[in-house]
Amino acid sequence: MTDKDVFHIVLVEPEIPPNTGSIARLCGATNTVLHLVRPLGFSTDDKHLKRAGLDYWKFVDIRYWDSLDAFLEAQEENKLYFLTTKTSRSYVDAPFKPGDYLLFGKETKGLPEEILRLYADRCFTLPMANPNIRSLNLAMTAGIVLYEALRRQ
């Protein structure tokens, strides 16, 4: 398969090893490419990261980027989708197709504000029915959005 045949999950400066490990396992199970944008908030040989991914790491196509700018410069803009709590547009309205990149920000801050402004028309969210709950766990959100994208194929 080529990059145009699969989905891509992009974690921008992830901070919590078990989230990244769970998402790596999700990517392995779905033949989704995982992109990790530095700086990472942990070492990739972290025991918590490995435990969450168990023994599946060898089945995951993981690509590392030195910065968000380096990643963005290498991509086609029309393939990028930004997931954020800072929009009202639901992910179910996004026209996902194979070859697309689903970008998620760091757990504590999300994606940079300037990126959200620049790509406002490409930002989507997971709506929360309870206004007291801002968002779901990063790994859960990535799973929901990815499986919606896969369901459409």
Residue range 8-151 in CATH 3.40.1280.10: yes
Q: In whole angstroms, how far apart are CA 138 and each of 14, 39, 107, 126, 131? A: 9, 17, 7, 11, 18
Full-model pTM? 0.94
d(CA 107, CA 139): 10
Per-position pLDDT tens, the chain of length 153: 899 999 999 999 999 988 998 999 999 999 999 999 999 987 776 565 566 555 677 889 999 999 999 999 999 999 999 999 999 999 999 999 999 999 999 999 999 999 999 999 999 999 999 999 989 999 999 999 999 999 999
Phi, psi values for residue 94, rounded to 5°: -80, 135
Contacts 24+ apart (CB under 8 A), 146-153: 146/7, 146/9, 146/26, 146/30, 146/32, 146/102, 147/30, 148/91, 148/92, 148/96, 149/7, 149/96, 149/97, 149/100, 149/102, 150/7, 150/30, 152/96, 152/97, 153/97, 153/98
